[in-house]
A and B are shown apart, each in its own frame.
Chain A
Amino acid sequence: MAVNEDLKDCSDAVVVVAISRYSQPALAEAYRRHAGAVFALARRLLVDSALAEEIVQEVFLRIWNQPEKFDPERGTLRSYLLAQCHGRSVDLLRSESSRRVREERDARRTAEDGYDLEHEVVDLSVAERVKEALATLPDLEREAIALAYFGGHTYREVADLLDQPEGTVKSRIRAGLKRLRTELVGAGIGGDP
């Protein structure tokens, strides 16, 4: 991979500006920094390495073709790429032609630990603090977020799965994300609340 040494110390925002100038080494640098996380999230959602690789390709070709979609004032490049990855993975799971993918995925998942959110977070430096923040959530908030984010379910599906009113699930997802943010900012992770 042709990573430019000069880019290694640059911020993500500078790297994206270089991408907008057709710099392939800049895209390679963005890939070096974030492709592992993007691949891991796609594989977690799809439980299929080949499909996850397709998602990674899509995500990085999208930042190459449309770098202006990334707004550094509204979040980090990592969160932008992961949101792109999550959206495309969920689209794939929900598409008619991929219903089989979901069924196969769910079948494979039965051999795993289910949707235990605390076991989903395996990042290196922040994992412990994220786990601590998750532990502060009421069970329903944690389960609703896990089923929506890692299960790729709509909140209506989550309501069915948890046998709760749709309005309750909708509110709990939002409240849980807000609570997590407050906890994580308090732990020195993330931005201003």
Chain B
Amino acid sequence: MNPLAHEEIQELLGAYALHALDTDEAALVEQHLEGCPRCRSEVAAHREVAALLGNAGGDAPEGLWDRIASQLEDAPPPMRLAFPADGGGPVTPLDGRRRDRGSRLLVAALGAAAAVVISVLVVEVVRQEDRIGELEAAMDGSSVAGASVVKLVSPDGSTTADAVLLPNGTGYLLAGDLPPLTDRQTYQLWGVTDTGVISLGLLGAEPGGIMPFQTGADHEVTALAVTQEVAGGVARSQNPAVLAGELG
């Protein structure tokens, strides 16, 4: 079917929100929604109303939760935290039982990136010394000694960031080199832990200065990564890492 005009799509949004379109029409609407925040907002509003209509009380049957829980034995598919294909192949940090494989892939990808990085290392050494100084200043005079230092590198080696992670789970990130994003986007910081990949916070569309973050006492972070996401961030990223680095 040919794409419909915006006004024609709008007329379908009520029926779409109630799953009352034929498959072909629903596909046309979905295609339109990808690029039209106004129509996405209208569908969300219709679905809120529909939820009120369908929001009946009552309990779920006994035993149903046990059946669901019995299917959660295996961890869900891991979050993709991959470099682009030309950056050394996919990097897929996995949950605890599979983390060794994930770490190996991450190291392999970083190795590929490092070949590019080496040419700018001389300049970077000086820059990093300055950054570490800034980070130390941010840490109320504490030394980075005893802390884990992380250098995050983009797949092509052109962009870097530095972070330190203290034993108490407090971290500081300096990522001023990242190119600014639009208002509808944000950078998001992730930590690779022994139980999977966790969000460590949003960095905004234009990261600047020293940004503190917390990994929490329960998590042993082995690597950090930054992805580009929609404003507001995501619970689990499907996007490749624009920066990544393992703890030194």
Contact = CB atoms under 8 A, between A and B. Distances in A.
Interface in B9-46: 10-15, 17-22, 40-41, 44-46
B50 A121 contact: no
A152 B21 CA distance: 10
Interface residues of A, number: 79
B57 A22 contact: no
22 contacts: A31-B68, A37-B58, A40-B56, A41-B55, A53-B61, A66-B76, A68-B79, A70-B235, A74-B40, A76-B48, A76-B51, A79-B50, A83-B47, A123-B52, A124-B57, A126-B52, A149-B20, A174-B12, A177-B17, A180-B53, A181-B45, A181-B46
A56 interface: yes
Contact of B20 (A24, A27, A158): A158
Contact of B49 (A1, A73, A184): A184
Closest 5 CB pairs of A and B: A174-B14, A79-B51, A40-B56, A35-B60, A148-B20
A30 to B, nearest CB: 11
A125 B200 CA distance: 37
A82 B18 contact: no
Nearest to A191: B48
Interface in A135-155: 145, 148-150, 152-155
B125 interface: no
Given A28-B65, A82-B55, A64 B60 contact: no
B237 A68 contact: yes
Contact of A145 (B18, B232, B238): B18
B4 interface: no
A16 B50 CA distance: 22
A122 interface: yes
B133 to A, nearest CB: 34
Interface in A24-48: 24, 27-28, 31, 35-41, 44
Interface in A149-168: 149-150, 152-156, 158, 167
Given A60-B68, A154-B22, A190 B48 contact: yes
A22 B196 contact: yes
A83 B235 contact: no
